Chain A
Amino acid sequence: MDLSEINPVLLIASLMVAATPLLLAAIGELVVEKAGVLNLGVEGMMIIGAICGFAITVETGSTLFGFVAAAVGGAVLSLLFVLLTQVALANQVASGLALTLFGLGLSALMGQSYVGVKPPSTPELNIPWLSDLPVVGPILFSHDLVLYFGIGLIAVVWAVLKYTRLGLILRAVGENHDAAHALGYKVIRIRVLAIMFGGACAGLGGAYISLVRVPQWTEGMTAGIGWIALALVVFASWKPWRVLLGAYLFGGITVLQLNLQAAGVAIPVEYLAMSPYIITILVLVILSADKSGAPASLGRIFHASH
């Protein structure tokens, strides 16, 4: 065991990479939940995004097309959730589960011919002088563009929710859909758009795993990250910047346990590998006392006749 092999600068840089899929999926789900909808299908939408992004990138050679396809794939799958919960008024928990089970199967089917293929690498930011700086360079200035996009998205979501009319309407729908309906807002339409936004974000997060983080395609490769993203929204008590904080925390744990595995710590690999999940549970326990941030209409079905 040699802990001195773990380089803190590289650790922070790879932590940011590990956190990005979580961050993308969680910020999408945050918007969905702010609109009063609980979509448990994040894992399914992520894995669909992972395979869509991977397949299109391999076929076209362009990672940009890949990420766009991933966002579209996630959003299209989320339409199934829309159909179930907003049109057929089905239970949101069951529908979300259905989405995940279906997505996992469908992605395995779509990805059959892509197992073992290597995708083209995602271009990284390279600013001549800044990227070469010691410490600051690798941490701040030499990542792929999607990582910066993720952080930017957090800022945008925060600003929209806090300062714009659109954000106010979204929150109104999530807090009290009957009142929002009485004010003349199209509750269903707003929720549909929010769900699709969540699907696109989850798709991007999934593609980030298959194109940057790993990068290759294997069945079920999201391995619960979608579920951790759901936990992260609770952790963040529905506040965008806390999503960033939480994602980096979980990213840090993931990267640290991988580093410890590589450094040959005396803890068996399996116990290190289960640590992110156990820590998720612990964090949920600590934070679940405070539910004041939760949108009041979360998970409730809206029908104008009620």
Chain B
Amino acid sequence: MIVLEKRPQPSQAWSLATPIVAVLATMFFGGLLFAALGKNPVESIMTIFWEPLFGEFSFYYRPQLLVKGAPLVLIAIGLSLGFKAGIWNIGAEGQYIMGAIVGAGVGLAFYPLEAWYIFPLMVIGGALGGWAWAMIPAFLKVRFGTNEILVSLMLVYVAEQMLASVSLGLLKNPEGFGFPGSRNFQSYASAYNAELIEGSGMHWGVVAALIAVIFAYVLLNRHMLGFHIRLTGEAPRAARFAGVNPARLILFCLGLAGALAGLAGLFEVSGPSGQITIDFNVGYGFTAIIVAFLGRLHPVGILLAGSLMALTYIGGEIAQSELGLPAAAIQVFQGMLLFFLLAFDLLTNYRLRLALKEVA
């Protein structure tokens, strides 16, 4: 009989190995899933993980890796700080949408003026939009003790309706022949989040994501606030005795996560996606939850996890067009990853030991 024995300290080695084991397990079981769908499992997995990086058209896909990875990393960094402290913001999708709406709104308000300060103002608007949306659950939690999980999630649905509303009304392109959706930023130079280096996929969102990684790393390892975040998550009682102010921590963690998600939305709407449309959001806010956990809530881990997740997005699209793999199969694949990760995490905190069944 196998029993679980709690480790005196979480195993460092397993903590690093779990994500890798989880990815391998997901590849294996994902392969089984693809085989069940009548696809060649090896070919499918190769298409997802190999093709975008080293395949024939990798020159096209590699830049996409940055484009898809940046919003995931940006959002996941914000979420990870909260998750570390036991603050569960799962409404990043809504904050992402609101950031995009506010940021795009700022830009469109200036149309057709061309000036250098428009894009920076949009960036500020995006961050503020996401921040404000996240402050709703934060404030309600601090003031009334309302559950932030449910409130932040409910606000995703509200934000989606807002998005529908503005793309049909407030921000609708007056020259768009009645089609829903805003003006395209591609034809508005001062507000367009263009590639910094032609053909690299590198836009301001990627830069922001890298800065966020460094910022989070410094915060967690070199700053008192970061220490308080970690302390609150690992030993809430000790944190209270140490004088950590939980309300301030909630406001900070949720606010920062919201601002980063809002930035991600703004960079996306003003760059790769180009315009506000009813279905402009593609679920980055939810996938970022997987990224945060897969990266072990560690900034560098999140950077790697975000790249891997971007890879599955792009590889998934290739597999869709080349092998006819359904889009939902990739979603299942990503969901599986989180499952295996959480399951294998057991080995970080517990030791498996063979034992004879004792008499109770």
> What is the interface of chain A, defined by CB distance below 8 A to chain B?
40, 80, 83-84, 88-91, 93-95, 97-98, 101-106, 108-109, 112, 219, 223-224, 227-228, 230-231, 234, 268, 270-271, 273-274, 277-278, 280-281, 284-285, 288-289, 291, 303, 305-306
Contact = CB atoms under 8 A, between A and B. Distances in A.
Given A281-B140, A291-B145, A231 B334 contact: no
Given A98-B339, A106-B335, A109-B328, A281 B161 contact: no
Contacts of B161: 270-271, 273-274
Contacts of A230: 150
A40 B331 CA distance: 19
A101 B331 CA distance: 8
Contacts of A112: 326, 328
By DSSP majority rule, is chain A's interface helix, strand, loop, or mixed? helix
Interface residues of B, number: 50
A284 B331 contact: no
Interface string B283-324: 000100110010000000000000000000000000000000
Contacts of B140: 281, 284-285
Nearest to A83: B343
Given A98-B342, A109-B328, A274-B162, A93 B88 contact: yes
Contact of A88 (B149, B290, B343): B343
A277 B328 contact: no
Interface string B336-353: 101100111110011000
Contacts of A270: 161-162, 164-165, 168
Contact of A89 (B164, B332, B346): B346
Contacts of A306: 6
A294 to B, nearest CB: 11
B158 A90 contact: no
The 3 A-B pairs of least Cβ separation, nearest first, read: A105-B331, A102-B335, A108-B328
A185 to B, nearest CB: 12
Given A94-B293, A280-B150, A80 B331 contact: no
A102 B346 contact: no
A284 B346 contact: no
B157 A284 contact: no
A59 B326 CA distance: 22
Contact of A84 (B157, B335, B339): B339
Contacts of B154: 224, 227-228, 231, 277-278, 280-281
B261 to A, nearest CB: 16
Contacts of B5: 305
User: Which among B88, B169, B332, B333 has the greatest number of chain A C-beta atoms within 10 A?
Assistant: B332
B4 A102 contact: no
B342 A84 contact: yes
B30 to A, nearest CB: 12
Contact of A227 (B153, B290, B346): B153
B153 to A, nearest CB: 5
B153 A224 contact: yes
Contacts of A268: 165, 169
B338 A102 contact: yes
Interface in B123-157: 136, 140, 144-147, 149-151, 153-157
A271 B328 contact: no
Contacts of A91: 342
Given A98-B338, A101-B289, A88 B346 contact: yes
Given A106-B328, A288-B145, 19 more contacts: A84-B339, A89-B346, A90-B346, A95-B342, A97-B338, A98-B335, A101-B335, A105-B328, A105-B333, A108-B327, A109-B328, A112-B328, A224-B156, A268-B169, A274-B157, A277-B154, A281-B136, A281-B140, A281-B154
Given A84-B339, A89-B350, A285 B144 contact: yes
Given A98-B338, A109-B329, A268-B169, A274 B158 contact: yes
B264 interface: no
B343 to A, nearest CB: 5
Nearest to A105: B331
Interface string B162-194: 101100110000000000000000000000000
B104 to A, nearest CB: 17
A214 to B, nearest CB: 17
A217 B90 CA distance: 26
19 contacts: A88-B344, A98-B335, A102-B332, A105-B330, A105-B333, A109-B332, A112-B326, A224-B153, A224-B156, A227-B153, A227-B154, A231-B147, A270-B161, A273-B161, A280-B150, A280-B154, A284-B140, A285-B146, A288-B147
Given A98-B342, A270-B164, A234 B147 contact: yes
A147 B220 CA distance: 52
A88 B338 contact: no
Given A104-B331, A112-B328, A227-B150, A277 B339 contact: no
